[in-house]
Each structure stands twice: as C-alpha cells, then as structure tokens.
Amino acid sequence: MNLSDLQNGDSAVIVRVSGHGAFRRRIIEMGFVRGQKVTSMLNSPLNDPVKYGVMGYEVSLRRSEAAMIEVLPEDEANQPLPDGPEEAPNANDPTNRRPSADTQPAPRKNEINVALVGNPNSGKTSLFNVISGGREHVGNYSGVTVAAKTGHVTYKGYRFNITDLPGTYSLSAYSPEERYVRQHILDRRPDVILNVVVASNLERNLYLTTELIDLSQPTVIALNMYDELEASGATLNHEKLGGMIGIPMVPTVARTGDGIDTLLDTIIDLFEGRNRVTRQVNINYGTTIEPELAIVTRLMQQSDDLPRQFPPRYWALKLLEGDTEAQRTLRSCAAYPEWKAAAERGAEKIHRLLAEQTEAAVIDRKYGYIAGALRKVYTPGTVDLNRATDRIDRIVAHKWLGFPIFIFLMWLTFSTTFWLGKYPQDWIEAAFAWLGEILRAHMPEGPLRDLLADGVIGGVGSVTVFLPNILLLYLFISLMEDSGYMARAAFIMDRIMHRIGLHGKSFIPMLMGFGCNVPAIMATRTIESHSSRLITILIDPFMSCSARLPVYILLVGTFFSATAGTVLISLYAFGILMAALTAVLLRRGVFKADETPFVMELPPYRMPTVRATLKHMWDKAEQYMRKIGGVILVISIIIWFLSYYPRTEVPTDTTLDPVALSEMQYENSFLGRIGKFCQPLVAPMDFNWKATVALLSGAAAKEVIVSTLGVLYSNADEASLSGTLAASGDFTQRSALAFLIFILLYCPCIASLAAIGNETGSRKWVAFSILYNTGVAWLMSYGVYHLAGLFLSA
C-alpha cells in the first residue's frame, strides 16, 4: 500500500521510500523515516496536493510523490523502537575533538561572530531582531548575501556580530540554501553557531542538530517557542538532553525576548571556553557503517591538505554518502582519488549489507539517535497545538471555499494597496509641487534653479509618491507570510502551477513580483529544483512590479479614464499570461527533464506581531527610498542634463510662445537626438522620440519613465503631467496602449538584472532576459497596436 492510497483522516506507518536520490533524501530528511506514523489530513481544493501530518508537523505532498512512499496500516506494522542515544566507540579519539574557542586561531578579542542556523519558521529572524534590537545592517540588493543579514549588539562588553542565515532542514547539498549555509560555516568560520530549534517540534528540528554535531563546531541551541512547548503540557529536561548531545541548550521565546540574556551569557561562556556542557559526540551509525567510516576517516587523518574546519570523520561520512558538494570541496586534495575509491568500496558494501543507500541509512540512524534521546528526557503534552491550524485549513483549503478566499485576499491586497494608497499619495504630490514652487519663487533664474526644480524635485518627487503603495503592499505580503497563509497559497496553487511546469512554491515569488521583482527573484531560493528556480527567476520580470504602476496610473488615467480599472487589470493579466507562456516554452524547450518533489512544510498559523510586520514594511520602504536616493536620482539628473544641453539660442525678438520654445529646446538637446536616432525602431507603434527617450531611461528603473516624461513634458501651462500629455496630442489611445504593453514587458530594470545575474550565477541569463523580454515586448506591442486599431479611435 502507498501513502497516496490513504483516505483523509487515516494513518499508516512508513515502510520504505522509493524514487530518485534527491527526492528520497529530502523526503526522509523531513521525517518520512521507516516506522514513523503518517496521517493523511486534507486534500487541496483541486484534490492535489495533499496535506499529511508526520512527526507532529504538517507537510504538503503531491499524490504522485506520496505514491512513492510505501506504508502499512498501523495495526500491521510492528517496528522495534530504536535504543537510547549511542555514541560511536571512537568518541574520545583526540583527532575528533570539538574545536573549542580557545584552540581556534587567535580569536578577535571581545568580538563574537554568531551564525543562526535552523529550520524555516523556527524563529531565526525573530530571534535575530530581538537580539540585535533592530540595529542591524540590512543587506541591500547586490550580492548573494542578501539572504544573510548581519546585525550587531554589544552585551557585557562583547560585540556580537549575528548573521541570520536562510532556513534549512539539513546541511546536505540538496538546495541552494543548504549549500549556502554549509559554505558560510566553512568559509566564514563563525565563532559560535546558534542552532534555533522549535521546542514544540523537537524530533524533526533536531535532525539538523545531528548534522551540526557531525560538523563539530562550537554550538549553542536556542530552544525557541518554549511557550508553545509549555502550552502543550509537554515536559522536557533540556539540561539532560544538552548533556547527552554535548551542546548547551537555552529555552527562549523570541516573541517576547524571554531567555535572550541567558542565551547570550551561554554564548560568551562557550566562546571563552568556560562551558562545561559542550563536548564532541560522535553519533553511532551502527556496526555496518562505522567500520567503513573508520577506514575512510583514517585515510583522511593522514592528509595535511584536508580542510581543517570540519573533522575528518565528517568528510569521510559525506564521501560515503556520495555528497557532490563535499566531493567538489575535496577534489583538490592530493589523496582525494584514494579516499574516493575507499568511500565507493565502503558505500557498495553498506548497500549490499543493509539493502539501502548509505545516505538513507545515515538519516535513519540520526532519527533513531534523536528518538532514543528524546525518550529519556521528554514527555509529550496532551494539548494538540495543531487543532486550531487544522480547523482553519479545513476552511481556507476547502474544496469550494479555498479559491474564493484566496482570490478575495488577493483582491483585498490589491484594492487596498492602490485605492487606500491614493490619499497619502495626493498629499505627497502636493508637498513636492509646493516645494518646486517655493524654489522657483526664491531662486534666481538659471540652470541651477532648473536643475533643482525640474531635475531633482521633479524626478524624485514623481517616485516618492508611490511610497504609500509599497508600504501597503508589503503590509499584506508580510501579514500573509508571517501568519502562514503564504504556504497555503502555494498549497492551493500547486495544481495550477504544475500546468506550466512549475510548482506551488513558484507562486510566492511570482506574487512578490507584483511588489518588486528584486526581492521576488531572491525569494526563489526556497525552490529546490534548479530548473524550476531558473524558470521562476526568468518569468518574474513579467509580473508587473509596483515601479511600473506609476507609469500605468499616469497613462491609463490620461488616455483611458473611463475604463481605467479594466485596462489596469488587463495589463497585469497580460503580464501573467506572458509569464505562463514563457514558463511553458522554457520547460518544453530548454529544461525538459525535471520533476521536483513538492515537499513543503505547512507551518501552524501564528498571529503576526506588530513589530515584525512594521519592520518588514520599514525594510522595504528603506530599500525603495535608497533606490530613489541612488540610481533614480542620478538618472533623473543625467536625463535632465541631457535634455537641458546644448542650449538652443533664442532670438530676443522671437514671436514664439514659451511652450513652443521649450519643445524646440528638447528637440535639439542630446536627449532629443538620441531619442530620434532610436525612434525608427519603435515607429511602427507610433511612439515619438519623447516616448523613445522615456523607454531608454526606463531600462534603468521603470519608475524613471514617469520622471522622464515629467521632465520632457514639464514646460507647458498645464499644471499636471497628465494634462500636458493629453494636450500634447503625442499619443492616441492605441499608441498609448501599445506603449503600456511595451513598458509591461520590456527589458527588466538594472536592479532586477543584477538580481538575475546573482541568483543564476551567469551572465548568459542576464543577456537572455534583456533580449528575450525586449523582443517579446516589441512583438506584443506591435500586435496590440494593430489589433487595437480595429476597436479604438486612431
């Protein structure tokens, strides 16, 4: 019988997991180990995927994947329970000693580098925020490091540098986060690893801890969400457990800050080599694996070029498991071929004797070790913490209600973002207009006044007005993320995303894309499959980001005021359609073979905290404002400069009115010349040189299109840009529509391109994005222009 055969509400016991390597590994790591009880809990509205309960938490699996897990009805299964925690015989081998801080090369005095490692949703970010007190340095767009924030705090004379690493379930080389975390530990050598463990879900969370035990680094465990453990009525002797695994444990509640001082004290103790709990424990992998492990370890101990940060036993284990990342790291060692041969022989032997891969056997042993330890120190509570969650899930993932609720929430997000945002927007706009007037009134006439009033205030002002929209959008995104609804959105959407060759997890980055493509592209990190991740990254720029909204509002408001809502929604929908088509094309044409396991934790619903929500909004606002202060301001000034010079000589006895004069000025400026040079390319859509210039400058950042138009159409009598545009006669409805489509689809902005380059690690995909997106934009814009000719006035 397979897991997929289980009816809702039924339970069974796992016998075996089949399927290909990466899939099996991930499934087993997440707790689907032999002898575990699984319950089928709920179907998603489209019947697939299904929510299962295992090890006290909930996870979503596709039916096709559940079919690879062999189970037995509970009464037929009779599994012997593993014994208590066993240590390997060579636990006292001096070469395997856990390096304590004092043996490390010259520790910086009074400065402790701490790396936060833990499962997703274990409260790392909450802990990070409560420790660093908001005084952190927020990583900005550039570089892969954006996933890792570093914060600082001074406590008892020590300066703590705390790094919030991405959440992982293990440290295998399976997902980008796992590789990232492992590489961070290897390269940056944090003084102390702070392992965040969910106290109310120890069994699954401690799996990662067993991996850290193998790494043999100075480690402290924060038993976070201790309040939930207590609320469930469970009891835990954490001192005894810490003693067993050789790692000090401190109960914490990141939400309230309880236990933080003790945690920091413990970190200092460990750093100073004063902690008495800490010791190296070697998990016993059993009589079959241990001898093979000993052979490879001994070979490695003789080497002098083995990376010393991790112990030989760890590297030996990884080679036995066939870990590709470890192979890559060790390849440069002189004796590598010998090690590899020994490891392959060992793995073969293990496979022969245990009838399973070393990898799976090791994971099994680790879970056995945890279960054995927990049996001695932990009594489960009687209160089911998941009850409220299950009740809510039964509604939000209901067959009929699921989608209406989802659509309602998306509608609520968008309507509030844009309609409520309109009010503060008007105030900001008025403030900038007032500022411009004051400048004009008080400064002497000349280039400097024009630069400040038109270039700086005009440019920056037209972008700042959208700050309220961004704050509101991120308010909703943050609420959905922190409450746990985002994961449900992926659960509900998986079936549909599957149609375009992606999975539910790709939905979240796409939704984020409506806010800004840069964080959206980074959010793809949660997607394990390389090809799904790449496709999601490449289609994300078609999701209409909030920077494009100002342009839409301006043009739609000007040329389609009667049907503004419909046109706006159609634009967004068209972007989604192009994203879907591109995904299908890429999946069919470029990345043919890929079927990723859709294993996603469905965290219990939690009440979002005001503090975390505000912080998230603030972070985004700050990023946005920095963009204005940096790139956009510079570009606004460059554009102003290009349009202001060379100055056109005006004869003193001219009969021309000021509007005609300023147009003449623009036409002869550098900007006008560049626009005119490129204009033939977009002439088929009837874009004039001003529109061409706006598109050129918008390639830097989409919101610049508005400020460019603002500069180019600023000198008329009309007070508003919209009025000037309408009066200019430069756009018809159909050319405005074609212009909108072009802006929706063409070349991603510089920040997005930088993110694409970083996340894909290749310039090839940056070039692809520029060429493909601009090509699609041209074709679609051309098509729309001609189609619209049938319906709209010329």
Residues binding Mg ion (CB under 5 A): 125
Q: Work out what residue 627 binds among Mg ion, ligand GDP, none; the CB cut-off runs from 5 to 8 Å by kind.
A: none
How many chain residues touch ligand GDP (CB under 6 A)?
21
Min dist. Cβ of residue 115 to ligand GDP (A): 13
Min dist. Cβ of residue 395 to ligand GDP (A): 20
Q: Is residue 329 a contact point for ligand GDP (CB under 6 A)? A: no
Min dist. Cβ of residue 120 to ligand GDP (A): 5
DSSP string, 625-681: HHHIIIIIHHHHHHHHHHHH-SPPP--TT----HHHHHHHHHHHSHHHHHHHHHHHH
Of the candidates 66, 20, 52, the residue with the CA atom closest to the CA atom of residue 595: 20
Residue with the CB atom nearest Mg ion in the bound state: 125
Q: Is residue 747 a contact point for ligand GDP (CB under 6 A)? A: no
Neighbours of 593 (CB within 10 A): 5
Min dist. Cβ of residue 614 to ligand GDP (A): 13
Q: State the distance between the two ends of the chain, measured CA to CA, in whole angstroms.
A: 66
**123 vs 515, beta carbon nearer ligand GDP:** 123
- Give just the sign of the alpha carbon dihedral 325, 331, 333, 337: positive
**Burial of 367 per CB tally in 10 Å (0-12, 13-18, 19+):** buried
Q: Is 256 assigned to a binding site?
A: no
**122 vs 529, beta carbon nearer Mg ion:** 122
Of the candidates 400, 390, 389, 394, the residue with the CA atom closest to the CA atom of residue 46: 400
Using an 8 Å Cβ cutoff, are 60 and 600 in contact? yes
Q: Is residue 690 a contact point for ligand GDP (CB under 6 A)? A: no
Site for ligand GDP in 498-527 (CB under 6 A): none
Among 193, 253, 264, 460, binds ligand GDP (CB under 6 A): 253
Q: How far is residue 141 from each of residues 137, 281, 540, 766, measured CA to CA in Å?
A: 13, 40, 16, 16
Q: Is residue 126 a contact point for ligand GDP (CB under 6 A)? A: yes
Using an 8 Å Cβ cutoff, are 155 and 264 in contact? yes
Q: Work out what residue 254 binds among ligand GDP, Mg ion, none; the CB cut-off runs from 5 to 8 Å by kind.
A: ligand GDP
User: Beta 219-224 vs 69-73: how paired, if at all?
Assistant: unpaired
Among 121, 478, 532, 623, binds ligand GDP (CB under 6 A): 121
- Bridge partners (DSSP) listed for residue 60: 51, 600
Q: Work out what residue 118 binds among Mg ion, ligand GDP, none; the CB cut-off runs from 5 to 8 Å by kind.
A: ligand GDP
Q: What does the alpha-carbon distance between residue 247 and residue 249 come to, in Å, rounded to a whole number?
A: 6
Q: What does the alpha-carbon distance between residue 231 and residue 327 come to, in Å, rounded to a whole number?
A: 45
Q: What does the alpha-carbon distance between residue 222 and residue 203 come to, in Å, rounded to a whole number?
A: 15
Q: Is 92 assigned to a binding site?
A: no
Site string for ligand GDP, 206-225 (x = CB under 6 A): ------------------xx
Of the candidates 573, 543, 555, 570, the residue with the CA atom closest to the CA atom of residue 473: 543
Min dist. Cβ of residue 136 to Mg ion (A): 13
Q: What does the alpha-carbon distance between residue 715 and residue 218 come to, in Å, rounded to a whole number?
A: 66
Q: Is residue 167 a contact point for ligand GDP (CB under 6 A)? A: yes
Min dist. Cβ of residue 149 to Mg ion (A): 9
Q: Is residue 150 a contact point for ligand GDP (CB under 6 A)? A: no
Query: Helix, strand or coil for residue 759?
Result: helix
Using an 8 Å Cβ cutoff, are 395 and 405 in contact? yes
Min dist. Cβ of residue 579 to ligand GDP (A): 27
Neighbours of 783 (CB within 10 A): 13
Min dist. Cβ of residue 606 to ligand GDP (A): 4
Q: Is 132 assigned to a binding site?
A: yes
* Helix ranges (DSSP H) in 166-259: 176-188, 202-215, 226-231, 238-245
Using an 8 Å Cβ cutoff, are 329 and 186 in contact? yes
**238 vs 616, beta carbon nearer Mg ion:** 616
Q: Is 340 assigned to a binding site?
A: no
Site string for ligand GDP, 598-617 (x = CB under 6 A): --------x-xx--x-----
User: Beta 69-73 vs 11-17: how paired, if at all?
Assistant: antiparallel
Using an 8 Å Cβ cutoff, are 709 and 554 in contact? yes
Among 227, 290, 338, 718, binds ligand GDP (CB under 6 A): 227
The DSSP code for 456 is I
Q: Work out what residue 269 binds among ligand GDP, Mg ion, none; the CB cut-off runs from 5 to 8 Å by kind.
A: none
Q: Work out what residue 530 binds among Mg ion, ligand GDP, none; the CB cut-off runs from 5 to 8 Å by kind.
A: none
Show Cβ contacts of residue 673 under 8 Å, excluding neighbours closer than 6 positions: none
Q: Is residue 122 a contact point for ligand GDP (CB under 6 A)? A: yes
Q: Work out what residue 123 binds among ligand GDP, Mg ion, none; the CB cut-off runs from 5 to 8 Å by kind.
A: ligand GDP
Min dist. Cβ of residue 126 to ligand GDP (A): 3
Q: Which of these segments, 15-23, 118-126, 148-156, 358-366, binds ligand GDP (CB under 6 A)?
A: 118-126
Min dist. Cβ of residue 207 to ligand GDP (A): 15
Q: Is 717 assigned to a binding site?
A: no
**117 vs 350, beta carbon nearer ligand GDP:** 117
**Burial of 434 per CB tally in 10 Å (0-12, 13-18, 19+):** exposed
Q: Is 122 assigned to a binding site?
A: yes
Q: Work out what residue 628 binds among Mg ion, ligand GDP, none; the CB cut-off runs from 5 to 8 Å by kind.
A: none
Q: What does the alpha-carbon distance between residue 9 and residue 41 come to, in Å, rounded to a whole number?
A: 5
Q: Work out what residue 176 binds among ligand GDP, Mg ion, none; the CB cut-off runs from 5 to 8 Å by kind.
A: none
Among 178, 211, 228, 321, binds ligand GDP (CB under 6 A): 228
**50 vs 486, beta carbon nearer ligand GDP:** 486
Q: Is 125 assigned to a binding site?
A: yes
Angle at 427 between CA 415 and CA 461, to 5 degrees: 95
Min dist. Cβ of residue 122 to ligand GDP (A): 4
Q: Is 318 assigned to a binding site?
A: no
Q: Is 129 assigned to a binding site?
A: yes
Q: Is 501 assigned to a binding site?
A: no
Among 101, 254, 508, 535, binds ligand GDP (CB under 6 A): 254
Q: Is 8 assigned to a binding site?
A: no
Show Cβ contacts of residue 426 under 8 Å, excluding neighbours closer than 6 positions: none
Min dist. Cβ of residue 122 to Mg ion (A): 9
Q: Is 161 assigned to a binding site?
A: no
Min dist. Cβ of residue 512 to Mg ion (A): 15
- Bridge partners (DSSP) listed for residue 17: 69
Among 45, 82, 85, 123, binds ligand GDP (CB under 6 A): 123
HEC sequence for 504-517: HHHHHHHHHHCCCH
Q: Work out what residue 224 binds among Mg ion, ligand GDP, none; the CB cut-off runs from 5 to 8 Å by kind.
A: ligand GDP
Residues of each annotated binding site for GTP: 118-125, 164-167, 224-227
Residues of each annotated binding site for Mg(2+): 129, 132-133
Residues making contact with ligand GDP (CB under 6 A): 118, 120-126, 167, 224-225, 227-228, 253-255, 482, 606, 608-609, 612
